[in-house]
Amino acid sequence: MPYPITHTDAQWQALLQARGAEPGAFAITRRAATERPFSGRYEQHWAAGRYHCMCCGAPLFEAAHKFDPGCGWPSFWQALPGAIAEIEDRSHAMVRTETVCAQCGAHLGHVFADGPAPTGLRYCMNSAALAFEPAGP
């Protein structure tokens, strides 16, 4: 699937480094790796603000839509409109729905139908794929 923002692997690596990304961010965002549960910087982060794609900076989630499902990854019950693209993922002998940034195709995590009301969804994200912008004054 083509995305509006594209770069070479070397360019993505340089961008991630310039943005202060975690060491595993390239493998997670560009190679669909997964960080260990309960290890990400945003797993227990509850400040007001907005979460963006670590690769391209596109806004993805409002902090007000974050909840703690106890799974070990930051989870949200709703994404910003048009922010996420979904791809069928048949890896690891499972059928899941992968979530990627709709602007650059960065792997973010997966979405599951076991979240809270009102959507019933759980966008289970890798912290290393996210950047946080605190709410203004």
Query: Which residues are known catalytic residues?
Result: 124
Query: Which residue has 């669909």 as its token pair?
Result: 32
Q: Is 73 in a helix, a strand, or coil?
A: coil
Phi, psi angle pair for 16, to nearest 5° = -65, -40
Measuring CA to CA, how many Å separate 11 from each of 6, 23, 109, 129? 9, 16, 22, 16
CA distance 85 to 37: 23
Q: In b/e form, how buried is each residue of 50-73, taking b as 16+ CB within 10 angstroms?
A: bbbbbbbbbbbbbbebbeeeeebb
